[in-house]
Structure 1
């Protein structure tokens, strides 16, 4: 009988020396339906836990990959589901029990993933294991608990058991929030009589969340408020009053809904008022509709322009966008347009938002988005500095791309499309280079089928030419906002044709001069105030200041620049002093703050190299060694190995650097592109291991050459060529006969 791709991958991965993670990842979107596939998964699970060493090569484990296969089953009716239910779930439970008592941090993540599958499949034994894990406080702050427990809010066969089992005693941490949200969902659907938090212990927790002043915990207050219609008096009314007075508008609206659910007119009045707040109208109207009181929505809130602004505000407030409501919204253009591909006439709005800076470090965030088709804002295109027609054109082109009616590609070989340059009949172009090409579907009903974009100079001025037959157009760089990707020019040109915009606008008149609105002294004072707050463990904003997306991190370099410029301090000393304040603050912060602060891209990670360079310049090699020891537990990955190894190498501590570099060589597929391999070769060469050094560099050169030859993209080729040149320079520096040896290996001076 023929074997399936899954069974073949499992067989290869389970062989001695096999890589099960890599084999399973190679299956892509494989769907599991047969019993034999499910049996093979169960057989593979029977080999676990096995070797529990964690490999940073994939940032995954065999357990994680095998567990993930349970999600790839083709429905509950296929033979694979029954087999995994009967045989696979017991294997997962066995593995969980074998690992949980001494699980590492990474293994706990895998075990939570196992719990997710146990919850999803609906067995009683699986639900028991979820309850057991919740009671043992297994990483109780992990978001995965919300995913696990949310499974039990729908028509889950074990819902009643889990919610009752966890109601006394109630769990702690984020597990409690997961239980609360799951119970709220079930209660709203009338699934049970008594809410798990309808107890003295439960109402105490609800009160704590409602009284917590930390803005990052306001979502907990929101969940607490959603439970209030299902909580008994007298505590319910006290908690509802707290929710009504909560500083977060979202919690206030939830309180309005809760009061309305209880039949109280005061709650409906709150929601009606919020309907007139453009930043909260969408939610307030939805709540009134859920309460079957849409008649209370004010007529002003139902006007088209108001609803357009409300929709845009809701979109901007999503965590994936601005993450908060803007301070102001203004409609800058409104018109009816025949929108492709159907050409249906639609009302469109361009809306400018302003989000004011309250830190003293940044300019106000001002941009423009579209409502009417797909609500969207291109934050990097500076739409507020463009004519309305260009903005509509960009959005239109983008939507047609997503509809697969336009296929835009980066040009890897400009010579392939060089013949299109003949379409330009204007004044001679200087140094034209085609960078993008777009294929237009005939369904869009415009003359062009292939349109190309080229960078060039015209009469000495930089710009772009769009090559489109008789419609070919020159776009001067001086008429475009600065620092925007060139592909936007192609979008403007084609999008204007799609929408029938023929007249060229005065683009320069829309540009805004971008000048700082505050003096260097004001900027320094603002940064130092935030720095003082960051080192204050009692500051409620410490996590925001030291965590991900910290302004102190993104403005660190400019802060140092201005210190040097205005106060004439030594640059390296300024870096050392500022960085050490941040480092000390992070070391004394809570565990959750530390996790973000020590992240490779966190506040300490982004300036780590500058700090090490500064220490080296001041001959503080001992402090570099101490810094490496501090960061090593946090940076157990290839990026961390590279940065820590490079720091040790810079300090002349080659015995410390070498193990980090070896981790990269042995655990990173593209190790040969890393400059750390040149450093490793230098260490070996200095130690007299010249053959090993030579072999490593030649291996890196050959693999970079192969990648260069096989790459389809010009930008990737440039990257491979730069890596090649770096290793080649190292080889020539280390070996006096390097030119001759490289020639013997067929390795040229340059790739191309």
Structure 2
């Protein structure tokens, strides 16, 4: 072992005596082990294992350094390594054995050891995959994120020794999180044509029983939510965990094609969860059950499930069964917004109603060709009062939190264009972030404006042009003045609970300028002029 390797080993084995490695040092570590020989890797692993057996203290390891070392081993198998420059030296079966022994020695508390599974999966040899499968099933990482990272290389591989993974991986079906990943992998391999027969075919009976149990449990949860969850968050987590496993179960049973799965899939059709009903219906359709196609057609009538239902019906060559009004561009725009709003990171549930209120084909900042743009009104009947908004579907899908109902369509497009535009010379600076001298100039200029209670809010930077934005009042109504050259444009804040702010007012102004630059007829399609 060279002196540099000796030093690396010393740093690795004595976490408490060494400062945490810098990002530069960690990057060098990754680069070093991406090209190390098999003998060098094996020598280092043997030394680490010997030290752990002597001290029996795996928590003394320098975790950032250990993770960087393992990441370097995994990256040697990345596709870019195969396509550029000489291929890295292959690791041999004895080295994989040492990695597996290190995984065992580190124990479940070690937060870096999942990287060993990633190395074994990335290598993709019969020996490495066998070791991977045994440890993933018998002693898996404890964090879902680590499980995902360990298994990602299997989904990226173009060829795998499937017999080294299955049927061993199906021994993990008792672990819901791990079972979902294993089923996703088996579905992926079958869909990609990497196996002639679905790997879970011999397990169809146990999969059917598992799906039936999961579906009946979810149905009970929906009927008596307070019995199974103390609050809404717990309920959502419980339903989400069930859905994570039911989805790949339906996919697998539909691919396997055994009619014995029909009763269990029919139970899933009875739950209220739209995504699960779509998955079960698709599986039933693949099994030749007419009810599956009928359910997908029914789901296509619901904006919140329309996009997925239409996609599945396309795959089944049955999309003509859907009425044309549910396949139109406007219907698809409504579906996209409803699906976006239902995502957990947004509102988390589908709106009661969605409706396209304006549609235009126009040039949009950042796009070379004209874009189909839709304004979609949505409504939620919340107990504290209805939540109504207007979102954009087209160049992007988004809903601003402010109330846009009083704006003309052209100004709604403008506010989204101003928000969406991405360019280093287009940005805003809050008044508090300005240099004192610049802020003083704008505050003095604000005193000359025709409004009351004028206060500098921010300055928009528009391709070298500065546009100060002031909070103010006119006729006792709050709003904003955007000064653009010699002209000051007024934007009312509105009197509702979700008024425009200074940034939103500036986005309208900025968006107007951008859209008018690209579209000579911008604003002419509005039914009524903007104040």
TM-score range, shorter chain: 0.7 to 0.9
Question: How far did residue 45 of structure 1 move?
Answer: 6.8
Q: State whether residues 369 and 375 of structure 1, in contact with CA within 8 Å, keep that contact through their aligned partners in structure 2.
A: yes
Q: State whether residues 432 and 456 of structure 1, in contact with CA within 8 Å, keep that contact through their aligned partners in structure 2.
A: yes
Question: How far did residue 10 of structure 1 move?
Answer: 7.0
Structure 2 counterparts to residues 120-269 of structure 1, below 5 A: 120-139=122-141, 142=144, 144-149=146-151, 151-152=153-154, 155-167=158-170, 170-190=173-193, 191-196=195-200, 198-199=202-203, 200-213=205-218, 214=221, 215-216=239-240, 217-231=242-256, 233=258, 235-269=260-294
- Pick from 66, 85, 88 the counterpart of residue 82 of structure 1: 88
Structure 2 residue 321 is matched with structure 1 residue 306: no
Note closer, same or farther for the CA distance 1:439–1:164 as it changes in structure 2 (3 Å cut).
same
Structure 2 counterparts to residues 101-500 of structure 1, below 5 A: 103-104=108-109, 107=110, 109-139=111-141, 142=144, 144-149=146-151, 151-152=153-154, 155-167=158-170, 170-190=173-193, 191-196=195-200, 198-199=202-203, 200-213=205-218, 214=221, 215-216=239-240, 217-231=242-256, 233=258, 235-341=260-366, 344-357=369-382, 362-378=384-400, 380-384=401-405, 386-401=407-422, 404=424, 406-410=426-430, 412-415=433-436, 417-418=438-439, 419=441, 426-427=449-450, 432-433=455-456, 435-440=458-463, 449-455=464-470, 457=472, 464-475=480-491, 482=498, 486-500=502-516
RMSD: 4.3
Note closer, same or farther for the CA distance 1:238–1:429 as it changes in structure 2 (3 Å cut).
closer
Structure 2 distance, partners of 1:428, 1:329, is 38
* Other-structure match for 1:35: 35
Question: How far did residue 170 of structure 1 move?
Answer: 4.7
Q: State whether residues 389 and 404 of structure 2, in contact with CA within 8 Å, keep that contact through their aligned partners in structure 1.
A: yes
Q: State whether residues 423 and 467 of structure 1, in contact with CA within 8 Å, keep that contact through their aligned partners in structure 2.
A: no
Question: How far did residue 317 of structure 1 move?
Answer: 2.6
Structure 2 distance, partners of 1:205, 1:254, is 16
Structure 2 distance, partners of 1:90, 1:79, is 28
Note closer, same or farther for the CA distance 1:457–1:131 as it changes in structure 2 (3 Å cut).
same
Using the size of structure 1 for normalisation, the TM-score is 0.54
Question: How far did residue 226 of structure 1 move?
Answer: 1.1
SS at structure 2 position matched to 1:325: coil
SS at structure 2 position matched to 1:452: strand
- Pick from 85, 93, 96 the counterpart of residue 100 of structure 2: 93
Note closer, same or farther for the CA distance 1:467–1:139 as it changes in structure 2 (3 Å cut).
same
Note closer, same or farther for the CA distance 1:476–1:485 as it changes in structure 2 (3 Å cut).
closer
Deviation string, structure 1 residues 702-742 (Cα, Å, up to 9, x no partner): xxxxxxxxxxxxxxxxxxxxxxxxxxxxxxxxxxxxxxxxx
Question: How far did residue 286 of structure 1 move?
Answer: 0.7
Q: State whether residues 454 and 473 of structure 2, in contact with CA within 8 Å, keep that contact through their aligned partners in structure 1.
A: no
SS at structure 2 position matched to 1:324: coil
Note closer, same or farther for the CA distance 1:279–1:463 as it changes in structure 2 (3 Å cut).
closer
**Larger RCO of the pair (alpha carbons < 8 Å, separation 6+):** 2
- Of stretches 362-371 and 487-496 in structure 1, the one that deviates more from structure 2 is 362-371
Question: How far did residue 253 of structure 1 move?
Answer: 1.9
SS at structure 2 position matched to 1:255: helix
Q: State whether residues 210 and 220 of structure 1, in contact with CA within 8 Å, keep that contact through their aligned partners in structure 2.
A: no
Note closer, same or farther for the CA distance 1:343–1:227 as it changes in structure 2 (3 Å cut).
closer
Question: How far did residue 369 of structure 1 move?
Answer: 0.7
Structure 1 distance, partners of 2:508, 2:390, is 16
* Other-structure match for 2:23: 23
Deviation string, structure 1 residues 183-239 (Cα, Å, up to 9, x no partner): 122233442425326434333223222322243313322221112234464632322
Question: How far did residue 415 of structure 1 move?
Answer: 2.9
Structure 1 distance, partners of 2:129, 2:480, is 62
Structure 1 distance, partners of 2:300, 2:38, is 52
Structure 2 counterparts to residues 333-732 of structure 1, below 5 A: 333-341=358-366, 344-357=369-382, 362-378=384-400, 380-384=401-405, 386-401=407-422, 404=424, 406-410=426-430, 412-415=433-436, 417-418=438-439, 419=441, 426-427=449-450, 432-433=455-456, 435-440=458-463, 449-455=464-470, 457=472, 464-475=480-491, 482=498, 486-500=502-516, 505-506=530-531
Which runs of no fewer than 5 residues in structure 2 stay unpaired? 222-238, 517-521
Using the size of structure 2 for normalisation, the TM-score is 0.74
Note closer, same or farther for the CA distance 1:256–1:96 as it changes in structure 2 (3 Å cut).
same
Structure 1 distance, partners of 2:66, 2:500, is 44
Which runs of no fewer than 5 residues in structure 1 stay unpaired? 1-5, 441-448, 507-752
Question: How far did residue 11 of structure 1 move?
Answer: 10
Question: How far did residue 136 of structure 1 move?
Answer: 1.8
Question: How far did residue 20 of structure 1 move?
Answer: 4.0
SS at structure 1 position matched to 2:276: helix
Note closer, same or farther for the CA distance 1:346–1:155 as it changes in structure 2 (3 Å cut).
closer
Note closer, same or farther for the CA distance 1:13–1:432 as it changes in structure 2 (3 Å cut).
farther
* Other-structure match for 1:577: none
Structure 1 distance, partners of 2:502, 2:412, is 15
Note closer, same or farther for the CA distance 1:317–1:84 as it changes in structure 2 (3 Å cut).
farther
Question: How far did residue 494 of structure 1 move?
Answer: 0.8
Q: State whether residues 147 and 178 of structure 1, in contact with CA within 8 Å, keep that contact through their aligned partners in structure 2.
A: no
Between the two proteins, the alignment pairs up a number of residues equal to 479
